Amino acid sequence: MNKAIMLASENIYTLHKWIQQVFTDKNGKGLEVMEELISSFDPEFTMITQQGKVIGVPEVKQLFTSSLGKRPKLEIIIEDIVPIFDDKGIVTIRYCEIHHECHQYKKRISTAIIDTSSEKLRWLYLHETPISE
């Protein structure tokens, strides 16, 4: 595994740890990580939601701000990280994201493009697809 793919893989875990902290706000840590979380997205970041809507950083920021502490029992599990492509530190990577909450599991397959070419990693693109069970 090359360095860019390793950095992108590690960043997937880090970013989702922050997302879980925002949603749960356990020990008041949600607001603490909010700025770092939002700054992980490139200003031109776009995301395809599970509902097929295209959103950018303003909508993502609004989602996290309005969700602070609203899901105190949420656990986010990341599995099956698969690198797809690396072009000079711009890494395309796929992973399975599981939301475990109140004895329910909701899974999605996500494909992300993460820029690892500078010290501050930036998410450029994310596409989430729900998995029905």
**Per-residue CA distances from 71 to 7, 26, 117 (Å):** 28, 10, 34
Residue 34 phi/psi, 5-degree rounding, is -55, -45
HSE, side-chain direction, 13 A CA sphere, residue 96: 9
pLDDT in tens, 71-129: 999 999 999 999 999 999 999 999 999 999 888 889 999 999 999 999 999 999 999 99
Nearby residues of 59 by Cβ (< 8 Å), 6 or more positions away: none
The domain tally of the chain equals: 1
DSSP β-bridge partners for residue 127:
48, 111
- Predicted confidence (pLDDT) at residue 23 exceeds the cutoff of 70: yes
**pLDDT band (50, 70, 90) for residue 132:** confident
Which residues form the domain of 78?
Answer: 3-130
How much of the chain exceeds pLDDT 90, in percent? 87
Q: How confident is the model at residue 27 (pLDDT cuts 50, 70, 90)?
A: confident
Q: Give percent above pLDDT 70 in the chain.
A: 98
**Single pTM value for the model:** 0.93
